[in-house]
Amino acid sequence: MLKVVKIGLLGLGTVGGGTVNVLERNSQEISRRCGYQIVVSKACARDMSRARICSTDSLQLTSNPDDIINDPEIQIVVELMGGEEPAKSLILAALANGKHVITANKALIATHGNELFAAAASNKVILAYESAIAGGIPIVKALREGLSANKIEWLAGIINGTGNFILTEMRDKGSAFEDVLKQAQQLGYAEADPTFDVEGIDAAHKLCILASLAFGMPLNFERVYTEGISKVTPLDLTYAEELGYRIKHLGVARKTDDGVEMRVHPTLVPKKRLLANVDGVMNAVLVKGNAVGATMYYGPGAGADATASAVVADIVDICRQLEISSDQYLAPLGFLSEQLKDLPNVSIEQVKTAFYLRLSVLDKPGVMAAITAILANNGISIEAALQKEIEQHGANTQVILLTGSVVEQLLVSALAEIESLDSTTGPAVRIRVESLQ
């Protein structure tokens, strides 16, 4: 007879209900993998009368999370509430009670993960978080275990499905950002307040964790440069296509001789790259290791069953470690805690990339020569150019340029000169370009 491991859920919404369903549907296969019978014994929900996507017949429902935190029979607590509080306090209490914890709370891990991991270690228990990043894609395990032979050079990911859906619809239908955002809200892809998704905060939380896993450094969310997609226009998506690129909202982490770059922003990606062809609500993470080369991880970034798949994978991992010494537990960030290094941060002003530029100018002789002269004087080369007549946008001509690689602060200085020209009729649009090689 298999030993029973009892689970307590803090939250019985979409992911909580999905977790119950996956554990029930795949119970035999899961037991074959971990050697235990896994039983969800209690679940905490704010609204006890709400309809659920799972059966609650075998569950003890409660509105008091302490009923789970203080239950001596529950060995694993799964936190699916979201937000900072009371989630953080409940996780700390569960860890202090000697319970292993699984969380899907990327914001909490990104901002308080160092404290939470230390609390888990001091209480000799595990804090797992695969479901916090990219839904059902096992990217935490890939970085922490599958790629552990490698020195990770960089990673780039589409790690917010809402933003990717919006950019895909804008590109395919020529719709404005505001119109597609409303559509995303109607479909349930975007919240009533979409700020975290469209302004890049959600992706920044995830990138912070991925960078720590990749480079072996403490979590430091405050260092992530974050830029959203609300200023991307159908024009820019169209011109990028003409130049052989697609615009994606990427999280990029790169280790250089000067330190670590962590940045989230719209990015031109060559159309021939796999990452450029990840559309709709799907997620993908491309990782470059010095031994294996480039590997990509693709799949659904949200949804009941997809995210529950990651939650249950963590349950299985914890069950596999129940009967070993705590000093043999997998390190949460893949590096021994004493080996984590607080690497220098490379500010966005010092990052070196190529750029897409769209300039609104008067259609008269000498304009292009003046622009190219300013760029040349700042050491910036031009790799490609387009010129478009667009009267309705308040200028005779739109000049679209792809530059060579340049340090950002030099480009900003050059654009200030260009915008001061009498022939320039509006602020420049600039979007970074990544070759992903």
Count of beta carbons in the 10 Å neighbourhood of residue 415: 22
Is residue 42 part of the annotated active site? The answer reads no
Closest by CA to 270, choosing from 241, 245, 243, 240, is 245
Q: Which of 42, 99, 141, 206 is catalytic?
A: 206
Q: CA-to-CA distance for 162 and 234, rounded, in angstroms?
A: 17
To the nearest 5 percent, what fractions of the chain are helix, strand and coil? 40, 25, 35
| 119 DSSP 8-state letter | H
Classify the C-alpha dihedral 413-414-419-421 as positive or negative.
positive
Q: Is the four-CA dihedral 132, 134, 135, 136 of positive or negative sign?
A: negative
Beta bridge partners of residue 358, listed in sequence order: 400, 429
Spatial CA neighbour of 354 closest among 248, 249, 433, 266: 433
Six token digits for residue 81: 């509430």
Task: Work out the angle at residue 144's Cα, subtended by the Cα atoms of residues 138 and 276, and round it to the nearest 5 degrees.
Answer: 50
Task: Report the chain's terminal Cα–Cα distance, integer Å.
Answer: 52
DSSP output for 40-57: EEEEE-S-TTS--SS--T
Q: Which residues are catalytic?
A: 206
